[in-house]
Amino acid sequence: MRSLVGRDLIWLGDFEPHEIRWLVELGLLMKKRYYSGERIIPVLRGRSVALIFEKPSTRTRVSMELAVYQLGGYPVVLRSDEMQLARGEPVKDTARVLSRYVDAIAARVKRHETLEELARHADVPVINMLSDFSHPLQALADVMTMVERFGGVAGLPVAYVGDCGNNVAHSLILAVAALGGFMRLACPREYRPSTRVLKRAEEFASITGARIEVFEEPEEAVKGAKVVYTDVWVSMGQEAEAEERRRKLARYQVNERLMRLAAKDAVFMHCLPARRGEEVTEGVIEGPWSIVWDQAENRLHAQKAVLAALIAGRA
Ligand code: CP
Ligand code: NVA
């Protein structure tokens, strides 16, 4: 396997299926060691990571800061509106300056192109903490949670219902395809996944035996599924389209009726934050199907795997 040391994680398409699988296994190992009492695994001792936020965050903000800390490193958390970026300093200058101080740059950005530009000009690994196109750290934690629950993802029917063209759906498609799962998406025509993602997922599928199908009817995707996943209808930055999106996605709500079409032992997943009464009902997210808190917890351990793999061992 080509070493992951020094590489960027801008979207999961940057990696090969066996590399994604390895990161998931390392995440599971990180969690096991944490629970056996090894709270600090100091592979990043003396290292630092800049965490830049252009958008709000609860889970990613806290779990990334703690992930760096639990690996013995130092996280520098930055709000972009408090940086010179906000006064017009170019992204490429920011990338080169930060590279002289820190061992990696992680960023949550409004436009995916900002991450690509950071990566082009930084001398250290750049990690995507969410863009309008992808949310790879979320998907690594998600498939890790599926492995914990079902023992593996190969052949696992995973339904995703709602906005299939958003960051979370894009990353989930690639992560499930990398592990050989059966991805069944349901969305209105205008909210289908990007062709770039579908094309890369098909490349993964030709290696792993995964399947990717896109339906219009939520019932078709969910029938017999072991995992039913959804995300908000209006992502950060899409506020101007809120009304139209709520109207077009209304029949894609994950409710008790839909969950009853899934497998008997099906689980409900959501990256959070959730809008109860929109994409999911209170009864589903608070009901016996829901494993959303395990998902949130696994962000921490999956991210330790990514940080250790990309940074530890760098000269
Ligand atoms: N799921 C997720 O990324 O949550 P935050 O926006 O709170 O970081
Ligand atoms: N799709 C959502 C995910 C939030 C974690 C958004 O971008 O707002």
* 3-class secondary-structure state, position 79: strand
Report the top-level CATH class of 138-295.
Answer: alpha beta
Query: What's the angle, vertex CA 173, arms to CA 221 and CA 212, rounded to 5?
Result: 50
The contacts of residue 127 (CB under 8 Å, 6+ apart) are: 8, 9, 104, 105, 106, 107, 137, 306, 307, 310
Binned at pLDDT 50, 70 and 90, residue 314 comes out as confident
Q: How confident is the model at residue 2 (pLDDT cuts 50, 70, 90)?
A: confident
Residue 313's pLDDT band (boundaries 50, 70, 90)?
Answer: confident
Structure confidence at residue 116 (pLDDT): 98
For 21-39, how does the pLDDT look when each residue is reduced to its tens digit (9 = 90+)?
A: 999 999 999 999 999 999 9
Q: Which atom in ligand 2 lies closest to the alpha carbon of residue 60?
A: 5
- Confidence band (pLDDT; 50, 70, 90) for 273? very high
Q: Closest Cα to atom 6, ligand 2: which residue?
A: 235
Q: Both tokens of residue 62?
A: 């806290």
pLDDT tier at 114 (50, 70, 90 boundaries)?
very high
Among the listed residues 21, 70, 121, 138, the single catalytic one is: 138
The reply to whether 12-134+299-312 and 138-295 are identical in fold is yes
pLDDT(91) > 80 = yes
Dump pLDDT digits (tens) for 124-183.
999 999 999 999 999 999 999 999 999 999 999 999 999 999 999 999 999 999 999 999
In this prediction, residue 315 has a pLDDT band, given cuts at 50, 70 and 90, of: low
The reply to whether ligand 1 has any atom less than 6 angstroms from the CB of 59 is: yes
Q: What is the helix (H) or strand (E) element at residue 52, kind and residue range?
A: strand 48-53
Catalytic hit among 231, 245, 253, 295:
231
Query: What pLDDT is recorded for position 256?
Result: 98
Q: Could you report the per-residue pLDDT of 59-72, keeping only the tens digit for each?
A: 999 999 999 999 99
Cβ of 231 below 6 Å from ligand 2? yes
Segment 11-20, tens digit of pLDDT = 999 999 999 9
Phi/psi for 107 (5° steps) reads -145, 140
Q: Which of 1-15, 20-34, 208-222, 244-258 is predicted least confidently?
A: 1-15
Superfamily of domain 12-134+299-312: Aspartate/ornithine carbamoyltransferase (3.40.50.1370)
Q: What does pTM read for this prediction? A: 0.98
With a pLDDT cut of 90, the percent of the chain lying above it is 98
Q: Is the CB of 235 under 6 A from ligand 2?
A: yes
Cα–chain center distance at 135: 4
**1 pLDDT above the threshold of 90:** no
Domains of the chain by residue range:
12-134+299-312, 138-295
Q: Is 108 a catalytic residue?
A: yes
Tell me how far apart the alpha carbons of residues 63 and 68 are, in angstroms, rounded to a whole number: 9
- The pLDDT confidence band at residue 196, using thresholds 50, 70 and 90, is very high
Cβ atoms of 123 and 96 within 8 Å: the answer is yes
